[in-house]
Amino acid sequence: MATDSLVIKDLHVSVEEKPILNGVNLTIRKGEVCALMGPNGSGKSTLAYTLMGHPKYTVDKGEAWYKGKNVLELSPDERAKLGLFLSFQYPQEIPGVSVSNFLRTAYNSLHPKQISVPDFVKLLREKMKLLKIDESFSRRHLNEGFSGGEKKRAEILQLAILQPDMAVLDETDSGLDIDSLKIVAHGVNEMLGPERGILVITHYQRLLNYITPDSVHIMVKGKIVKSGGKELAHELEAKGYDEIIKEAEVMA
């Protein structure tokens, strides 16, 4: 088993004894973008939160191996230190904590050597320029009063600062206008490289117009029913979920 890939095997997850994931098998490889698509309620976000250890989700069966460890047995902070990252669909507001202080604390928690304030400010300004974010943004309280687009930029800014090995982006395109979508996609594309794997979870194909996936997987009722290359996203856009699901049922 490749230790630089995130390998999910026969994952079954429930919430309050209600099954949500029903045997997910998926591999996210370093250096690649893996897109997970599916209709609302298919279990996409459940997979994301389960990978990061949200206590609401109960793992009934299965494994998720990364760097030789079953991450499902680790605490959320241990998963983060291992190199896993989650960009939330609905980022939480944290009044009283500035964007800058939040990011510096998160950065220092992942590195044995603490970064100095001047060095961090330099790093932060560099990444904010990349995402076309005004410097005044760093002094605002995290997500408090932010528009939907600003919240998503803040999530991608975290990605740029923390530089995780394996990033899960949970519906980063949700609620974005076209300009914000392009800026967020640009930030994600700047993070692509052989040292990083990215799982893009999305409901629509439009984000994939700007972030080109290496593989596309369609999830329905807690299982992946069809996989393919980037062309699968275009096929889905043309046919819709109902037709793809019918085809998958015939092939099963």
Residue 155 has pLDDT above 70, yes or no: yes
Residue 3 has pLDDT above 70, yes or no: no
- Which pLDDT value is given to residue 217? 96
Mean pLDDT, range 87-102, rounded to an integer: 86
Q: Is 18 helix (H, G, I), strand (E, B) or coil?
A: strand
- Which pLDDT value is given to residue 252? 59
Per residue in 14-54, pLDDT (tens digit) is 999 999 999 999 999 999 999 999 988 899 999 999 999 99
Q: How far is CA 168 from CA 194, 197, 202, 203, in A?
A: 16, 9, 11, 14
Judge residue 160's burial from the number of C-beta atoms within 10 Å of its C-beta, 0-12 exposed, 13-18 middle, 19 or more buried: buried
- Which pLDDT value is given to residue 77? 92
Residue 137 has pLDDT above 90, yes or no: no
Distance CA 74, CA 176 (A): 33
Q: Which CATH number does 5-92+165-251 carry?
A: 3.40.50.300
Q: Are 122 and 93 in contact (CB under 8 A)?
A: no
pTM: 0.90
- Which pLDDT value is given to residue 251? 64
What is the phi/psi pair of residue 218, to 5°? -110, 125
Report the percent of the chain where pLDDT is more than 90. Answer: 63
Maximum pairwise Cα distance, the chain: 60
Residue 66 has pLDDT above 60, yes or no: yes
Per residue in 229-251, pLDDT (tens digit) is 999 998 888 888 888 878 777 66
